[in-house]
């Protein structure tokens, strides 16, 4: 008999589904907000299965852990935990956040094209004044760095607006028909000068860290739009500030920054062509929202597969920090 510890706040329906998925092969314990710290640690020590998002340091208490399903897509905080280095399997939530994050990107792109941040500033000052000519997506080329779940959802939404969509993946393979072309990072330098919009949806890996430095930012069109919803350290912040001061880039939308959280007096806050949101692009978590239902349904389905000994999904490659294959 195994022990399953559920850290997620679930309503009665999902609790019943978890119990049914266990098929009587595991004792299921639901974390209670009234637990003391000692009670919580004791539960972790006994758990063979974890469903939820513990603090990384709390995983040091796990003595029997075989499998953990997190609700996060990015799991860099977990991949260095010893328990996974010793053989426990970690599964992430790739595939659940794509629609919400893609909508956030669309909002940023259109707002920057139509100068809405400037007009919001004018409104706050009671100023009836044209901010300048707009930028249009019609006839434009979009480069999507990271054509996985999020990148594909963005491409679907951009397809009616733009002329060409180029995706970047780690490996060459077949791609959906809402892309016009798919390349690898080896071709990045050749494609950056072609893009009117560059969307960044990449995870934090050694390969992607500081990928967009001053040299590559200078390869972009002077009036390009740059969006980053992946990880802040993809872009060298000081290099971005420098090219902005040179007058490059039409606008920049950042849901992630480096450092993060962005300090109150950081220079990025004061850049007139930069929109910043505090890592909230996937924050569609109201009860019964499509995102929450998709996440919890996946947890139940993957747990059921695990308990049945079937192949479960979204296994994380601990060495690279995101889903295998």
Those residues with Cβ within 8 angstroms of residue 242's Cβ, 6 or more apart along the chain or in another chain:
214
Helices (H) and strands (E) in the chain, counts: 10, 14
| pLDDT on residue 297 | 95
CATH number of 2-96+286-323: 3.40.50.720
Please determine, for residue 322, whether its predicted confidence score (pLDDT) is greater than 80. Answer: no
Q: Is 267 exposed, middle or buried (0-12, 13-18, 19+ CB in 10 A)?
A: middle
| pLDDT on residue 283 | 81
- Is the pTM higher than 0.85? yes
| Domain 98-276 bears CATH identifier 3.40.50.300 | no
Helical residues (DSSP H) of 24-71, grouped into ranges: 37-46
CATH 3.40.50.720 in the chain, residues? 2-96+286-323, 98-276
Please determine, for residue 226, whether its predicted confidence score (pLDDT) is greater than 80. Answer: yes
Please determine, for residue 325, whether its predicted confidence score (pLDDT) is greater than 70. Answer: no
Q: Residue 323 — very low, low, confident or very high, per pLDDT cuts 50/70/90?
A: confident
pLDDT tens digits along 20-56? 999 999 999 999 989 999 999 999 999 999 999 999 9
3-state secondary structure 201-230: CCCCCCCCCCCECHHHHHHCCCCCEEEECC
């Amino acid at each position: 008999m195994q022990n399953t510890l559920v850290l997620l706040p679930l309503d009665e329906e999902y609790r019943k589904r978890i119990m049914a998925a266990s098929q009587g092969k595991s004792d299921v314990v639901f974390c209670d907000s009234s637990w003391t710290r000692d009670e919580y640690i004791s539960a972790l020590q006994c758990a063979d299965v974890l469903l939820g998002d513990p603090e990384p340091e709390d995983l040091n208490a796990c003595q029997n852990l075989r499998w953990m399903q997190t609700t996060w897509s990015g799991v860099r905080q977990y991949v260095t935990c010893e328990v996974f280095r010793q053989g426990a399997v970690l599964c992430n939530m790739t595939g659940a956040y794509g629609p919400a994050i893609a909508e956030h990107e669309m909002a940023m792109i259109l707002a920057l094209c139509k100068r809405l941040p400037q007009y919001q500033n004018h409104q706050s000052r009671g100023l009836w004044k044209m901010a300048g000519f707009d930028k249009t997506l019609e006839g434009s080329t979009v480069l999507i760095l990271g054509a996985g779940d999020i990148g594909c959802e963005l491409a679907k939404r951009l397809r009616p607006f733009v002329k060409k969509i180029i995706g970047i993946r780690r490996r060459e393979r077949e791609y959906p028909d809402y892309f016009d072309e798919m390349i690898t990072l080896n071709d990045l330098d050749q494609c950056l000068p072609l893009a009117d919009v560059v969307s960044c949806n990449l995870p934090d890996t050694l390969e992607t860290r500081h990928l967009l430095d001053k040299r590559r930012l200078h390869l972009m069109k002077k009036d390009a739009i740059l969006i980053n919803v992946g990880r802040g350290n993809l872009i060298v912040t000081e290099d971005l500030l420098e090219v902005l001061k040179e007058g490059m880039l039409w606008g920049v939308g950042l849901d992630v920054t480096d450092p993060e959280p962005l300090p109150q007096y950081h220079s990025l806050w004061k850049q007139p062509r930069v929109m910043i949101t505090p890592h909230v692009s996937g924050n569609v978590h109201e009860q019964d929202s499509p995102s929450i239902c998709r996440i919890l349904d996946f947890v139940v389905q993957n747990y059921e597969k695990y308990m049945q000994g079937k192949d479960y999904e979204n296994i994380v490659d601990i060495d690279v920090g995101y889903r295998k294959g």
